[in-house]
Amino acid sequence: MIGNRKIFYRGHIIKMNIITVILGLALNYITYCFSQEQSVLSLTHLAYFIQSSYSYLIVFSLTIFFLMRLKKISLFFVAFFYAYTIFNQFQIMGESLNKPVLVLSICFGFFYLHYWIQLLDELRSAYFNEDFLKGLIYPDLGKNIKASFNLDNKEEVKGRLVNWDNRGCAILLEDEMKNFNKRLNLSIKFNKFQYELDATPVLYYPRKRLLALRFAEAEKLRQTPEAIVKLKKLGWNPLLLR
């Protein structure tokens, strides 16, 4: 449990951004060592790098922290950290003119941009969107879209959809959940239609009884589940204010 949320899932994009941030820190240290013509294994220069990079390390720590919490503010911190890293590298290279490091920094710049754009898209997904909690999504939205699933202990959990897109959904549960499965067989019912689909829990807000799910079909096959396609054809689309 982190704060008022329980986190079950950090996807590929989140993990790759965490790895990229760590690589950015390593690249910045390597750039510093090259500029000093010292070995990256020198503990003396590592200690001096840490002492002279307090602000940079604070930004690094905050970036990792917010990425782990799956908060939208992490977009700002990731972008700022990437920009800070590249600025430091070019500032150091302005003195040393190390061409290999220059080429590496430019390559990493495109790498940073690629994963930041993917992070932006990921955090806009319905299973990360907290607009319902903020009262920005009409509370009766999806009142006729019933959702249910069974846990391993045969307990049936019921609720209704309050947010959805091609990749996932958020369900307002009738009762608070205490047990969780890694995978759920989600049943969605509306009008005379009923659909079954596999889903992975992403986030759970105990106080609001809100469970966010990622569709396994969208994750593995890159396809929109048939239930969501049908909802769109009926014109039932949540208002995603981002």
In this prediction the pTM is: 0.79
Q: For position 117, what pLDDT does the model report?
A: 92
Q: Are 114 and 181 within one domain?
A: no
113/23 same-domain check: yes
Q: Which of the pair, 222 or 46, is modelled with greater confidence?
A: 46
Assign 211 to helix, strand or coil. Answer: strand
In a domain, 109, yes or no: yes
Digit-coded pLDDT (tens) for 180-230: 888 889 999 988 888 998 999 999 988 888 899 998 866 665 677 888 888
Q: Are residues 119 and 188 in the same domain?
A: no
CA distance 180 to 183: 9
Query: End-to-end distance of the chain based on CA atoms, in angstroms?
Result: 25
Cβ-contact 177, 204 below 8 angstroms: yes
- Quick one: what percent of the chain has pLDDT higher than 90? 19
Q: Which domain holds residue 94?
A: 10-123
Total number of domains constituting the chain: 2
- Integer Cα distance of 3 and 123 in angstroms: 18
Are 109 and 68 found together in one domain?
A: yes
Does residue 116 sit in the same domain as residue 151? no
User: What pLDDT, on the 0 to 100 scale, is given for residue 58?
Assistant: 92
Same domain as 69, residue 18:
yes
Closest CA relative to residue 82, chosen from 55, 48, 65, 59: 59
Domain contains 131:
no
